[in-house]
Structures are given as C-alpha cells and as structure tokens.
Amino acid sequence: MSMNVSTTNITLTQVSNTIVILNLLMNQFVNYLPLIFIILGFIGFIGNALTFLQFELRSNTCCIYSLCGSIVDIISLFYNVLPLYLNTIYKIYIPWINMSSLCKFHIFIVAFLPHLSINFLLMSIIDRYASTCKLTSSIRHLSKIKMVPYLNGITIIFSCLASLRGIILYENTSSGCIVIYPLLNNILYIVLNCVMQPVAMLIFVVLTFQNVQQSRQRAGGTNTTYLHHSRKQFITMIFTQVIVTAFILLPWAIMYMYNNISANFTKTSEQQTIINFVYWLTNYWFYLNNVKSFYLSILTSRLFRQTFLKALIRLLPHDCKYQ
C-alpha cells in the first residue's frame, strides 16, 4: 500500500514538473517569439526594399513579385503578430477585435495576409518557370513586365476568395468572434492553405527544373559553363524557398488538425498543457514565412548579396564611399 502511494506521489511530481517547465518555457521564451519575428521581419523588409528597388533588379518581374510579397509580409507581422505579443505580454487588445461590425473583416484579414504572402512566392516561381520555357512558347509571355499588374490582380483576387471563409463561416457572439461551421472551416483551411499552395509550388519547381535540364542539353559552346553555374544557383534558390516554406507550414498544419480532431477528447492537465504549448509554438513558428525571404536570398543568391551591398554603399556618406 505504501509503495503504491509512493509511486503515485512520484507520478504526480513528474506531471507537476512537466507543467511547471512548459509554463516557464511559454512565459520566458515562446511568448517573446512574436517580438523577435517582428524585429527580424522589419530588418528583412528594409533589406529587400533596398535590394529590389535597385536599378539592376527593379525591372525583373521575379523581383517585383518578391518585393510585393515582402510588403505583405511586414503588414502581416504588424497586423497578425504584433497584437499576439501585446495581448500576451501587456494585455493590450486591438479595439476592433470585439466590434461586431468588424468581427468578420478581422478574421478575413488574418487569413488573407499569410495566404497572399505565400501566393506571391508562388507567383515568383511561376514567373521563373515561364522565363525558362522555349522562346516560341506562349507561356513565356507571363514573364514580361507588362503582365505584372494583371497577375498581381489575379493573385490578390484568388487570395481574397480563399479567405472568404472568415466572412462566411464566422459570427460575432457574446463569447467573441467564433466559427459557426468548424468542420467546414477546418477542411477549407487545410486544403487551401496547407495542401494546395505547397503542392502548386512543388509542381512549378519540377517543371522549371525540367525546362532548365532541356535547355542545358540544347546549350553548347563557351556559354555552357556559365549557364550551368547560373542555373544551378537559380535552382538552389528556388528549392530552398519551397523546402523552407513547407518545413514551416508542416508543423502548424499537423498541430492544427490534431487540435481540432481532439477538441472533444477528455485530457489530463498535463496533456492539455503540452497541447497548448505545442499549439502556440507552431502557431508562432508559422509566421516565420513572413520573415525568411531576405535571409534566404542572402544565403542562396550571389546577385542578391552583391546588389544589397551596393545599395548599402550608396547610402553611405561620400567620404565613407571613397574609403
């Protein structure tokens, strides 16, 4: 009997320690991730703006889509991530979140901005695919600069349509802005955000790779080495963007599905603490998509690094430039 009591006490102590450790990590680390992401994202936005607006790149259609994506990223960080930080740390709530007239609009914007950001990455990949098609292909017209306004408009419209669930499936009640059709909402979110976008990017990466391989076989003479080097760098940059995006999306998608499936299950206090910890960690982790662009470009593109350094040098005083 005493042994059973002792074993029970040990188990309760372990459970208590788990809860204490996770709560400590939540309060001391996880809750401050939004602030870290906002700072890194703002630095990245300035770096992208300086680089993509330079003469060498500002007429490049792929860079235009990347700059549009960077603008959406910084808006998303300040609209979606900053309120999370202020709510958690300082108990400051944005005023319109509890206004019945703006309830649906708020949910719509929360869903719209991350979706639009990834869609601009998808557009940059489609643009690179179009630029590697044969000169006689009609698809190649998509990479012309005159097409950018039309394709940007289509991208925004598609993101709006994919985010309409925030207007249709949510209602403002005494408990706040809640979803009234949770199953349909979850299915739409998983399909549109966690499946369609990564799959579409992967498809165009594969198609681009095939175009480059075919073009390399047709290339000859003294330009072969140069073409191989530039295309290898290009493929590396695209694959890095896609892989990192999928790596960021996957944990949140898994946790989102699990949290909704197990919502009605009975849980112990330890299990609930673990679920809450992983849920918020992966939720914050998802917003790395709004931070990563500049840093991945620096790491994977020599042209981006060179242009960024030139932009920094141009900002220096005349004496410093001379030195």
Q: Domains in the chain, please, with CATH?
A: 24-214+231-307 (1.20.1070.10)
| pTM (2 d.p.) | 0.89
Tokens 């019945």 label which residue?
100
Instruction: Determine which helix (DSSP H) or strand (DSSP E) holds 176, and give its type and residue range.
Output: strand 176-179
Contact 66, 124 (CB under 8 A): yes
- 3-class state of residue 89 by DSSP: helix
Contact 293, 70 (CB under 8 A): yes
Residue-by-residue pLDDT tens, the chain, 323 positions? 444 544 555 454 555 688 888 999 999 999 999 999 999 999 999 999 999 999 888 888 888 999 999 999 999 999 999 999 999 999 888 776 667 778 888 899 999 999 999 999 999 899 889 988 888 889 999 989 999 999 999 999 999 999 999 899 988 777 777 888 888 999 999 999 989 998 999 899 889 888 888 876 665 544 444 444 544 565 677 778 888 998 999 999 999 989 888 888 888 888 899 999 999 999 999 999 999 999 998 998 888 899 899 999 888 776 665 55
- 3-class state of residue 173 by DSSP: strand
Q: How many CB atoms lie within 10 A of CB 185?
A: 19
* pLDDT for the residue numbered 316: 76
Return d(Cα 284, Cα 34) in angstroms, integer. Answer: 7
Instruction: Determine which helix (DSSP H) or strand (DSSP E) holds 204, and give its type and residue range.
Output: helix 197-218
- 3-class state of residue 172 by DSSP: strand
Contact 126, 236 (CB under 8 A): no
- 3-class state of residue 282 by DSSP: helix
Nearest to 34 by CA among 292, 252, 287, 293: 287
Q: What is the DSSP letter of 88?
A: I
Nearest to 66 by CA among 303, 253, 315, 314: 303
* pLDDT for the residue numbered 268: 85
Return d(Cα 43, Cα 269) in angstroms, integer. Answer: 40
**Which amino acid is residue 9, in one-letter code?**
N
Structure tokens at 22: 């996770």
